[in-house]
Amino acid sequence: MQLYNTLSAKERAALIEEAGQDRLTISFYKYAKIDDPKKFRDHLFVNWNAQDVLGRIYVAQEGINAQLSVPATNFDRFKSFLDTISFLKNVRLNIAIEHDNFAFLKLKVKVRDKIVADGLNDDTFDVTNKGIHVEAEQFNQLIDDPDVILVDMRNHYESEIGHFINAVKPDVDTFRESLDIIEADLREHKEDKKLVMYCTGGIRCEKASAYYKHKGFKNVYQLEGGIINYMRQVEAKGLENKFIGKNFVFDQRRSERISEHVIANCHQCGQPADMHTNCANDACHLLFIQCDACKEKMENCCSTSCQEVIQLPYEEQKAMRRGQGNSNDIFKKGRASHLTYKKDLRNIFDHIKAPK
């Protein structure tokens, strides 16, 4: 029984191009008790591999977190399979605003301790005592309330290119960092303010809302389905869009355009730009914002030193990386002193009008 990928990313990309069929980019999550994550992982892989599903899926005893790509012609089959799993029957599927047939090039279903790395001990509080879920229309009404504190539960590189107007945007690298920072900064408002949170698809807010209620916040709300579902409802119902810029996504697309505003800057020259790239030097691989002009001038590199490295023979580059591993020392996200125009998001509040 095949429980692994037999094709390389390059080979898979060639097959997708040859097939010429549209693929849907989808994400979903569900907190549910899974007694045997390994067995469940294998069950998913066998079925999804047969359906030509590609993506990155995390399975744990607490549930599932999935970002994937499905051939449009296989969507009904994919949905029917989900409905055979009791806790996934009629699960909300966040379908991307912008699709890319090459968003994912492998099927990776991994067993993890948690479906989101939150650093919390779930035994110390009631994870089911979550905040009030609100849809787009009610969310828009809430965030106009002066007694509301709107908090972006995403990381600095996500909120830098797009966010809701007047949101508090913690300058953090990881979700787990943000939890205690937000609690400390807002502790004086646990009873007199409404805490309203949002994230990409809703999963981070799901755990955070229960944590903050445990910490004493009396009025906790979360955007149902996150930014992705918000935009679907804005378009379907003709609502005012209060999100500016782009929504960062964790696949080959890297982002979806939500409004025409470009609110970020190239980290190298400072010109308006909101496209992330990974440094072409694989020993660096820094994720940063780069405009087209700098991309051409720097050959997709974050620095002249990295530009010099990519000119070396491949085997020499490979030797230079030996022993480094794929650690956080390599895969930074816009954190480097040579990125002159990296914006510091701490204590920055935006006062601009939302697009109609």
**DSSP for 163-222, written as a single string:** EETT-B----SSHHHHHHHHHHHTGGGTTTSEEEEE-SSSHHHHHHHHHHHHTT-SSEEE
- Which residue type is seen at 115? I
Tell me the angle at which helices 226-237 and 136-143 cross, rounded to the nearest 10 degrees. Answer: 100
Q: If 0-12 CB within 10 Å is exposed, 13-18 middle and 19+ buried, where does residue 115 land?
A: buried
Is there a catalytic annotation at residue 302? no
Asked if 131 and 197 touch (Cβ cutoff 8 Å), the reply is yes
Strand partners, 196: 150, 221
3 state SS of 144: coil
Looking only at the bridges linking them, the beta strands covering 276-278 and 287-289 are antiparallel
As a whole number of Å, the end-to-end CA separation of the chain is: 53
What is the rounded (10 degree) CA torsion for 338, 340, 341, 346?
A: 80
Cα 159 from chain centroid (whole Å)? 10
The CB-side HSE value for 45 (13 A sphere, CA atoms) comes to 21
C-alpha to C-alpha distance for 86 and 279, rounded to whole angstroms:
43
Kind plus residue range of the DSSP H or E element containing 112:
none
Other C-beta atoms closer than 10 Å to the C-beta of 160 total: 27
Active-site amino acid positions: 199
